[in-house]
Every structure is written in structure tokens, then in C-alpha cells.
Structure 1
């Protein structure tokens, strides 16, 4: 916990950074006196001092605590090498690791302690894979930065925990009998909202993939969309376009009626851009080039991904529709194709799954009614009176 104390009103402050307690129970505290005009500036200097202290904690000795070394790992590896959204997604699992290993010295953490930690965590099965990957990376860099010896890396004897098989349950998607009524209700949405939802439902696109669509990825003649980017939002970098990984890069074909409607909407966006003139701000891609996003506000700025979730949740609540999340439209797309007998490999490619096992694990159980229909077909064969005559 950090704080500051005013020594001279609006002029001099003492900064405090609390670092817990050492092995003997003595409080560890770093202090610094600064001169600045006002509490707001003092708070800003406090944050800078806190970051400086945390970054250099492990330099005080050759056997830092897990908490001390993890701060260094974040500053010198995670913040620079990992995607901003990936780094932020690791924040919650890291808190759990900090709570458990935080005050333990890096050289004293054993393989058995880590195994015991995962044995206990399996009860809740909460982010096991992320926690494993985090520990593996932290100790890998402890070796690279000469904090521990390679042969003493405690992660070498820890097996990667297996996540529970993820399955999509029936309350997480609209089935083929519910989709027609859903489309009828969706006509009450604003046009851009309707198109965003329809593209997700009929193509299995994620919300970030829909929001990243630009004219050059669309082939109006073949009704195909090249899904190759995603709009992401992070605290560190804000909104940005990010290229999808090679395995996620895919082409999705849509019904002509929807593509005609999308083209008309796009032409409206072009007209809006022209009318806005100098007020049009636009947006830049990952190469810092101006792009026209199909789904943007009147200034050409993209809609935030969470705004899609918000309008969809309001739509569901207002229309008293089955409580399926926006991401559930992607699941609905897969389940509908399965019910219509589309090959699982085709579904895998449309969804952009790297491994068909992911698709099989998630969706192979949802068309049990179709399996019953298959069984009924054989029942007819055995119950046919003509067979008795033969």
C-alpha cells in the first residue's frame, strides 16, 4: 500500500511505499521526500516512486521473494513482449500466485510446493492453465536472469494441469427452432446493431472480428469476408486493430441477402464520411494507415467491444428473449450448422479453431436429438411389417 504525507502545504511531501514484512516480522518501507505544488502532483510522483521501487526490489539481494521478482518480470518481460490484452488477462491469475507464493524466496520454492498448490487449486479449477504458464515463465526468466540455477528450477517436475473439457450447454446458444424468431426480433435493433449481430450469428465471428471489418476484406461478388483482424481494447494501448494469428485467418461466406444489406450500410458510411468533412477523425490500422471501419461512429471512431455486449444485453432483456450472450451467437452458428449436417471440419474452419479437437469438444454433444432421429430410422426398419413377411 502506498501513501504520502504533507510536510509543507502545497510544497513538500513524504512518499511511503509499503512492502510488507521481512522474515523477522519487521515492516519493509521505502520513503522519499519530494517538492511539488499540490496533492495531485504528489499522487503522480507517488505512483512513479512505487513503480521504481517495485522494479528494483530484487536488486537488494540475490534471493528475492516471488512477489519482488514478479514485479521485475512484469516490467522487463510481460509489459514489453506480451500483447497488452494477454498481459491484462494474466493479472487475476497472478494475484492468486502472489497470495500463495508472494513472500516465499525464489530459491526456496520447491517442486512439491507448486504441485501441492495445483492440487488444491483443482477443486475450483480456476485458470489452471494460465497459472501454470505464468509460473513457468516467471521461473524461466529467473534462470535467464541468474536468480536461480537452471537445475534448481522447480517447474521442471510439475506437470501441466488439465482443464476440464469445455462443452457448450443448451442454455448458451439458440437452437435451429429458436433462430427464426430471433431474427424477427432483431429487426427492432438499429441497423448497425442488426448487422453486427447477424454477422456473428451467420458467420460465427467474434465481436472483435466484426468490429474490425473494413471494405478491403470484403468480396462483394462472392459474398465472402476475409477475417484477418480483430479490434481489441486494453488499458495500456486503448483501441487498436490486431492481425489474427495465421491459423485464425479465414474466409467466411455469407447469404447474398445479408451481404446486400451490408453493402447498402457501407455506402451510407461513405456518404457520412463525405458529409462530415474535416470533422471526420477516422482510425488507423496496425501499420498506422488510415482505414474505414464499417462499424464506427459519426467521426469514424470504432465502437468499443464492450458496447456490443451492452446493446445485446439490453436487447435480450427488453425483448424477454432467451438469455444468450453475444458470444453465444457464435455457438448458435456452430450448433445450427451441425443440426443441418455440415461437416465438423467445415465448422472448424468457419470458427477459426486451430485444432478440430476444440470444435469436437465444444459441440459434438449438442445434436443429441439428431442422434435420436438416426435411432428412430433404424426402429422403422425393425418394426416394418414387411420385414416379418420375409
Structure 2
């Protein structure tokens, strides 16, 4: 049952009884509206009643965005984001979002606020370094993701009915410059890596053969080496917290999987696995983690940091004049090599644990097209026979 109260010129308050308390007093939901006349107010009242009866109504919250940000951090973000992503989002929220929108109540934030925010970033108005150029599409997307996370969680917590950041269109992402794949570069890397310490050689070959990431590589334990299957199981990654502590987390996008490896590489890995187990037995009381034997660790079982892999690789490629190839680029070299060997794209996608085959197509489509052109050339023989 609803009623209308005139509050002023063109202003009305809608009231709908939703039940009664223990003393028999009516419990009401109210909404202030601005319409021209009472007839239009009755129409709005009918909509308001239908919204409440259908269960779609969410009581407006008077929580400001800057206050909810503290709750978002404690009750959601710390458990759902990697330390690196969390630091990036906090920096964006505190330096870009709260100064402009922190004073607003959650219910006051509209899609147009998000559009204006993105537009300002796109025109370079919100740069923090004083430059006038627009921010890159990827940076703008990260800013949007941080804002969207705040409002999405507020929706999930029942503080607002709808997320105003949902369905906002963003600038098209810039395609990353593809890694210059050449056989000469691969040959030079393979020749140079043979001069490195044995454990570094194994790290290189695992990354090149499986396409794993740095964090996944240093998170490998003895249990992940499947000797009978001749494969490696990737199910976790290692990250370093701001205080220096190492933390095990799930694989990116939750895409764990098993990757087959050559028998010679398996032998190399088993040699390291045997050494780690021997060290574990000798130093069990002083072992870094009694429940884990990491393959790439120090003499007390503490695993290598992901960034230490990149640092070693940087020194290695400079010593051997290999060029601007990151350790992560071995993942791209692995995929490109398999494409040129005519391995089916679906198999490659599964091997590098992309969630969708479309991801593989988007990143490596130009290489796939090149191989496809070579494949088309094989049919020339039939047309040559026809012409002859």
C-alpha cells in the first residue's frame, strides 16, 4: 500500500508500507521524486511499489565512496587481488578516484561520472607526471578496473542496486608489439645458455619448452614433476609481497594444466629434483618450508624470487648480445616455434594454458596467418598440373 505526499512545487515523497514491526507500527520505504504533477507522481508510485514487490528494490545508502573504500580494502581486495595488482589499484583509487569522487554517496554516483572520469584520462587531464599526452589505453583500462571493482563490490554488498560502471565503453587497447621471432636468435640463445650454470640451463629449457611464466617456474615443487607421464604440472605461482615475504597463489586466470616435455629435459629436471631431496633430508629441521621442496631454491629450500629470474636473464642477454628479449618472451618464442612447426592452434592454446583459443589467435594471429599462407602454397601443385 502506497501514498504520495506533496513536498513542494514539483516535489513529492512516495511512501510504501512493506510490513509491520513487533509493536504493529508500519514499516515504510520512501523515495523523493521531482515530477510536474500528482498524476505523474502516481505513475512513479506504481513503479516504486512494483520494484519493492519484485524484490528489485535496494535501500539507498548514505555511505560515501571514500568511506566504503576502507571496507572494500579489508573485506574484498586483500583476499581477491595479487599484492602487485592490489598496490596498483590502491594507488589509482587514492590518487585519481577519491580526490574527485570520494565525497559522493555511493547512490549518487552515476554512469556519467564514470564516462567523465574515462574521458579526462583519455584527454590527459588526470596525468600524475605533469605531461600533457593522453594516458595509454592499458593504463586507462586499469583505472577503470579499479573504479569498477569498487562499485561492483558495493553492488554485491547490497549498498547500491546497480553498478554505474557496468557496460562503459573504453578506448581500444593498443596491440602489443610482437616479439621479433628469428631462428638466428633462438640458435644464439641455445648456444649461449650452454655456458650458464646447470640450474640456469634447466630454467631456460623449462620456460622455452613449456611457455611458463617466471612466477610459475619458481613455484615448481618436486611433486609437480610427473616422471611417468613425462610432463610438468603447473598449478601455482609465486609472488613477492611488499615486505619481501614470498606467497603462493593460484595460476593466472585459474588456468592450471599439465605440459608434456622431451625426455632429455625430464632427465635434467630429475637430476635437480634428486639434489633438492637430498638437501631436504640433510637439513629438514632448518628447511624453509617442511611441506614443500621447491626445485629452484637455495641450500635451505627457500625458493627463488620471480624477479631474480628476470635479473639473471637481463645480465645473461647483455653478456651475450641477444637483444631486448625478456625472460617472459621465451613464452612467446615457444608458441611461435610451435606454430611454425604446424602444431594445431588448439593444442598450443592448451599447452600455454590460455582460457580461450581466441586469446592465442589474438596474440599470435599474424604468425598463424604466415603459416597458413605457406599451407595454401602446397595446393599450387594441383593448379600447375591443370595448366600443363
Is TM > 0.5 for Structure 1 vs Structure 2? Answer: yes
Note the C-alpha offset of 1:136: 2.9
Aligned to 2:114: 114
1:150 alignment partner, one of 152, 157, 161: 161
Contact 1:206 1:327 in 2 (8 A): yes
1:326-365 equivalence runs, <5 A? 326-365=327-366
1:235 CA drift (Å): 2.1
User: Aligned to 1:194, which of 193, 196, 201?
Assistant: 201
Q: Distance in 1 between matches of 2:252 and 2:331?
A: 19
Contact 1:168 1:331 in 2 (8 A): no
Q: Say whether residues 1:134 and 2:146 are aligned partners.
A: yes
Judged with a 3 Å threshold, the aligned counterparts in structure 2 of structure 1 residues 341 and 167 are, in CA distance, closer, same or farther, namely farther
Between the aligned partners of 1:145 and 1:221, the Cα distance in structure 2 is 48
> Residue 234 of structure 1: which of 241, 244, 247 is its match?
241
* Stretch deviating more after TM superposition (175-184 or 238-247): 238-247
Q: Is the 8 A contact 1:84 1:236 kept in 2?
A: no
Larger Rg: 2
How big is the shift at 1:262?
1.3
Paired with 2:102 and 2:96, the residues of 1 have a C-alpha distance of 9
Going from structure 1 to structure 2, the CA distance change for 1:179 and 1:141 (only over 3 Å counts) comes to closer
Map of 2:97 onto structure 1:
97
Identify which of 179, 202, 206 aligns with 1:170: 179
The CA RMSD over aligned residues, in Å, is 3.0
Aligned to 1:22: none
Q: Is the 8 A contact 1:166 1:361 kept in 2?
A: no
Q: For the residues of structure 1 that align with 2:161 and 2:316, how far apart are their CA atoms?
A: 55
Q: How does 1:1-390 map to 2 (within 5 A)?
A: 62=62, 64=64, 66-94=65-93, 95-104=95-104, 106-122=106-122, 124-142=136-154, 149-150=160-161, 154-155=164-165, 158-161=167-170, 163-164=172-173, 166-167=175-176, 169-171=178-180, 174-235=181-242, 238-244=245-251, 248-276=255-283, 278=285, 280-283=286-289, 290-374=291-375, 376-377=377-378, 384=384, 387-389=386-388
User: CA–CA distance in 2 between the matches of 1:356 and 1:175?
Assistant: 24
Please list every run of 5 or more consecutive structure 2 residues that lacks an aligned counterpart in the other structure.
1-60, 123-133
Q: TM-score, normalised by structure 1?
A: 0.71
1:80–1:277 distance in 2 versus 1, CA, 3 Å: closer
> Is there any run of 5+ residues in structure 1 with no aligned partner, and where?
1-60, 285-289
How big is the shift at 1:78? 1.7
| Greater alpha carbon shift after TM alignment, 326-335 vs 115-124 | 115-124
Distance 1:220 1:80, change over 3 A: closer
Query: Equivalents in 1 of 2:172, 2:207: separation in Å?
Result: 27
Q: CA deviation at 1:80?
A: 4.3
SS at match of 2:322: coil
